[in-house]
Amino acid sequence: MIKEIKLLDLCCKAGGCSEGYVRAAEELGIPIIATGIDIALQPNYPFHFIQADAIEYVMEHGHEYTHIHASFPCQGYSRTKSLHNNEYPDLLAIGRQELQNTGLPYVIENVIGAPMKNCIILDGPMFGLRVIRRRKFESNLLILQPGKGYKHGTIGGKNATRRNLGHYFITSGHQVGTLKEWRDAIGIDWMTREEIAEAIPPAYTHWIGLQFFA
């Protein structure tokens, strides 16, 4: 087992993925230092943060770490792409190549529509969370998927009311729910509403990290 983890979290946002990996390392009893990289300032990122371009940073500094996670921008694969006329660069393919060039263990996270390789799919009910947020995870190591996790009840969408929130939340856009309800649903207690709308529940990377680090 590795003696110390130096985790690089690319496109980290406010740190949902980093938090899950830190919890996994602590559970395994392995010291961990997490560093988040994002092109935008992330004042609520809970660990060491560097504002930089993710691709450029991993090309120059990737060899300084032991494990890499990347959540490259996903607009080009999002279901809402058809609503806009913008063309987005394929950062997933570029980023994957740069991660492979490091020779390090890596995980890539992206939306359901993304062209991922040998990936697993995680969602909130798999971990007892009250959030619907399906995401793909690809790794150059073997990562197993948990049980399906059945939803019991309704989903509170944009047409839900305070009298009928539903059992699950879709924590994005103008969906219903207070900040506390969103935080409780996704398992995050430090982010703003806007940050939660883009966050990955730490439970996802906690599950992955237990395998990734062991």
Q: What is the DSSP string of 126-155?
A: GGT-SB---EEEEESS-----------S-E
Query: Domain total for the chain?
Result: 1
How far, in Å, CA of 27 to CA of 165, rounded? 34
Q: Is residue 138 part of a domain?
A: yes
pLDDT band at 142 (very low <50, low <70, confident <90, very high): very high
Q: Is residue 43 part of a domain?
A: yes
Place of tokens 């913008």: 86
Orientation angle between helical segments 202-212 and 16-28, nearest 10 degrees: 40
Q: What CATH number did the domain enclosing 10 receive?
A: 3.40.50.150
How far, in Å, CA of 205 to CA of 207, rounded? 5
Burial class (CB in 10 A: 0-12, 13-18, 19+), 43: exposed
Quote the domain boundaries for residue 26.
5-149+199-212
pLDDT at 169: 79
Cα 42 vs. chain centroid, distance in angstroms? 15
Structure tokens at 100: 């492979």
- pLDDT, tens digit, for every residue of 143-187? 999 987 655 555 544 444 443 345 777 777 667 788 999 999 999
Q: Is residue 169 part of a domain?
A: no
- pLDDT, tens digit, for every residue of 56-70? 999 999 999 999 999
Structure tokens at 15: 């740190």
How far, in Å, CA of 184 to CA of 194, rounded? 15
pTM of the model: 0.88
Q: Is residue 155 part of a domain?
A: no
Q: Is residue 124 part of a domain?
A: yes
Residue 85 backbone dihedrals phi, psi, to 5 degrees: -100, 5
Place of tokens 């230092």: 33
Q: Is residue 94 part of a domain?
A: yes
- pLDDT, tens digit, for every residue of 143-152? 999 987 655 5
Q: Would you list the DSSP string of 29-91?
A: T--EEEEEEESS--TT-SSEEEES-HHHHHHHHGGG-SEEEE----TTTSGGGGG-------H
How far, in Å, CA of 116 to CA of 135, rounded? 11
